[in-house]
Amino acid sequence: MNMIKRLSPRPGLRVLVTAGASGIGAAIARGFLEAEAKVLICDIDDGALQCFARHHPEVAVVKADISDEAQVDALLEKTARKLGGLDVLINNAGIAGPTGAIDELSVEDIRRTLDIDLMGQFLVVRRAAPLLRASEAGSIINVSSVAGRLGYALRTPYSAAKWGIVGLTQSLAKEMGPDGVRVNAILPGVVRGARIESVIRDRAAASGVAYEEMEAQYLSNISLRRMVEPEDVAAMALFLASPGGANISGQAISVCGNVENI
């Protein structure tokens, strides 16, 4: 196989992207569609799903909340039926969770963040596992965060969930490796988009500084002094799913411009 083919996912790969209707998930879904994969995206937001499908009529869409066990079970059944199996799971869905001092966070907010950001990935992967074991190119790519390596002041539920995803990844890589399934995590840094704008806005308000000042603080903690583009994360996902990634498993790979602190 020549090197360029080695660096591209093979056409026809069957890919599920959770929360694929916008943000990072949408960039990953678009990347796999460009690589001629068969892609199914799920999302909780039906309007966003329909909008994505209007621009990409070849995609399959399923409305699902990945924190709801029954909806996840139905999602994986539909995935198996619509794609005829599954080769690559992009376990991407997650929310930012609350910002605040630990003693000011409500139990409800903490539980909701862990339910979506960590438990949701468990729910998806436990139903995807049999399909991936049956694949000849089974690969799980869990989307964590640099907050899953560095810790994140005032965002402890999110950070704890993202550390949990790294543990899920490394344990599953050991469990599923002998079945030929590779399991890796991508840890994005500060990714350009609506989510980071709202996080910066919240933190600026909590610290009593202007938005621009908080944004400059974020950039000053990144060696490359720039935000990550959703397509930078998509490129790593495509590489991990390609033959070039065939010997990479159990890794937590940062795509962050070398963030020193968040």
How far apart, in Å, are the Cα atoms of 236 and each of 38, 50, 195, 226, 254?
18, 26, 20, 18, 10
Listed ranges 33-41, 43-51, 133-141, 170-178: which one lies at the site for ligand NAD (CB under 6 A): 43-51
Give me 259's structure tokens.
Answer: 């963030």
Q: Are 190 and 259 in contact (CB under 8 A)?
A: yes
Report the residue from 82, 112, 195, 201 that binds ligand NAD according to the rule CB under 6 A: 195
Listed ranges 8-16, 42-50, 81-89, 240-248: which one lies at the site for ligand NAD (CB under 6 A): 42-50
158 as an active site residue: the answer is yes
Each residue 4-23 as x (binds ligand NAD by CB under 6 A) or -, in order, gives --------------xx-xxx
Of the candidates 52, 51, 73, the one whose C-alpha atom is nearest the C-alpha of residue 64 is 73
Q: How many CB atoms lie within 10 A of CB 53?
A: 15
**Closer Cβ to ligand NAD, 46 or 58, answer by number:** 46
**Is position 95 an interface residue for ligand NAD (rule: CB under 6 A)?**
yes
Give me 181's structure tokens.
Answer: 């399934």
CA dist 224 and 53 (Å) reads 35
The residue of the chain with the least Cβ separation from ligand NAD equals 23
Listed ranges 79-87, 169-177, 194-202, 215-223: which one lies at the site for ligand NAD (CB under 6 A): 194-202
CA dist 79 and 64 (Å) reads 12
Report the residue from 7, 33, 45, 229 that binds ligand NAD according to the rule CB under 6 A: 45
**Closer Cβ to ligand NAD, 80 or 186, answer by number:** 186
How far apart, in Å, are the Cα atoms of 89 and each of 29, 99, 181, 198, 256?
11, 29, 11, 28, 22
The set of catalytic residues is: 158
Query: Where does this chain bind ligand NAD (CB under 6 A)?
Result: 18-19, 21-25, 43-45, 48, 65-67, 92-95, 116, 143, 145, 188, 190-191, 193-196
